[in-house]
Amino acid sequence: MKKKVFKCSVSLCLVVAFLLTLSLSYVAAGPPEDAGPPEHAGPPEHSNTPDHAGPPEHAGPSSEDINRHVEMGKELHDFIEENTAKYEDKDDSTKYKYALKFLNKKIDSGEVKDIQKIDEAKIEQIDDDVELNTLYEIQKNSIRADFWDWDEFRKNSLRADFWVAAKLAAPVLPHASYFLEHSLDDDPDDVHIWDPFHPIMDDIRATNVYQNNIQEFESNIPTDERRYSEEFPAQFTRHDCWDLFLALHRTDMHSEAEKRYGNWWAAMSTFEDTYDFQYWEWENAEDLPSYVVTIINNHGYEAQEVGAIQNYDIQIDVRDELEP
């Protein structure tokens, strides 16, 4: 049976959902005031990694990439605030209107590629009382009744929606929003993050999933051998880290360790995922946060179905030092 998906081309609902997710993330963000660093916060300065570790052929994103992504997100926020200051009542449709204008500005400057410029006349038709399907109908009726033209148009409209949503989320959800934006390329490279100073490393190390698994792994290492490996389930949850929960799905944690000196072991845990969207049934949403995430996920599923979002593989190598 074919799954039912949303039919609104310009997904104002998506942007509203992301704004709500950001507010939920702000509430959940940050460790308690008395929290210290995780037990395995390393690696220390003298750390080495297993022999096979090294720069992959297609490394990325770098810390600089993430910083640029977040900075443009902040620039988008400032652009929206500056241009909506004149409105007494700024609702989400007004903010979305100026977000699309910002996107056009970045397309003109060459900073954004693989997304077609949005017709300014259609952007101007977004007003304070717009209904979710209004712009969809305007766009649909403004082009030739040709299936392939409409298919390409719908793909680029959804791609623009998700670009805006990714930039809105960037300051609070840097990893999830970066992976989402990367999927909007026509042919995205696979992502392999190995830099020990990349910000995602400390975020992963701080999760209960990682700490519980690495502690079990450490306790299982046979001290009379020089190499050891083990695999663990590693599904991040929204209660653990919103950013990783939205960024990665169905991951496993494959840990390898090699004895270096004394009782110290150099460890590397690899997380692998395919960036894609599966349709989620609405009845499985148990509360407001999971309902909001279901909205975002199923919009992603729709965008993937028409080619706006492209799949790619993600690999993250997290290094640590252990003393079993």
Is 73 inside a domain boundary?
yes
Question: What pLDDT score does 15 carry?
Answer: 54
Give percent above pLDDT 90 in the chain. 26
What Rg value do the Cα atoms of the chain yield, rounded?
22
Q: pLDDT digit string (tens) for 77-133? A: 888 888 888 877 666 677 778 888 888 888 899 888 777 787 777 777 666 444 444
Q: What is the mean pLDDT of the chain?
A: 75
Q: Answer whether 320's CB lies under 8 Å from 40's CB.
A: yes
Backbone angles phi, psi at 242, to 5 degrees: -55, -45
Q: Answer whether 72's CB lies under 8 Å from 167's CB.
A: yes
Backbone angles phi, psi at 127, to 5 degrees: -125, -175
β-strand pairing of 191-193 with 312-322: parallel
Is 279 inside a domain boundary?
yes
Is 206 inside a domain boundary?
yes
Q: For residues 315 and 237, what is the distance between their CA atoms, to the nearest angstrom?
A: 19
pTM across the whole model:
0.71
> Which ranges in the chain belong to alpha helices (H)?
12-28, 63-84, 92-109, 120-124, 134-141, 147-169, 174-182, 199-205, 208-220, 242-247, 288-305
- Decide if pLDDT at 53 tops 80: no
Residue 147: pLDDT band (50, 70, 90) is very low
Question: What pLDDT score does 137 carry?
Answer: 52
The tokens describing 216, both together, are 């079990």
The residues, any chain, with a CB within 8 Å of residue 174's CB and separated by 6 or more, are: 66, 69, 70, 199, 243
Is 62 inside a domain boundary?
yes
Q: pLDDT digit string (tens) for 293-319? A: 777 778 888 889 889 999 999 999 999
Q: pLDDT digit string (tens) for 238-254? A: 888 888 988 887 788 99
Question: What pLDDT score does 89 carry?
Answer: 64
Is 27 inside a domain boundary?
no
Question: What pLDDT score does 43 carry?
Answer: 39
Is 143 inside a domain boundary?
yes
Domain tally, the chain: 1
- Decide if pLDDT at 145 tops 70: no
Is 36 inside a domain boundary?
no
Q: Which of 11-20, 112-121, 183-192, 293-302 has the lowest mean pLDDT?
A: 11-20
Q: What's the average model confidence in pLDDT over 172-190? A: 90
- Decide if pLDDT at 40 tops 50: no
Full domain range(s) for residue 195: 48-322
Residue 291: pLDDT band (50, 70, 90) is low
More confident: 226 or 60: 226
Rounded alpha-carbon distances, angstroms, from residue 299 to 18, 172, 222 = 11, 20, 47
Rounded alpha-carbon distances, angstroms, from residue 112 to 62, 107, 108, 278, 323 = 18, 5, 8, 27, 47
More confident: 288 or 68: 68
Q: What's the average model confidence in pLDDT over 20-25? A: 52
Question: What pLDDT score does 2 carry?
Answer: 37
- Decide if pLDDT at 211 tops 90: yes
Name the burial class of residue 24, with classes exposed (0-12), middle (13-18) and buried (19+) by CB atoms within 10 angstroms of its CB.
Answer: middle
Is 7 inside a domain boundary?
no
Q: For residues 162 and 178, what is the distance between their CA atoms, to the nearest angstrom?
A: 11
Question: What pLDDT score does 255 carry?
Answer: 97
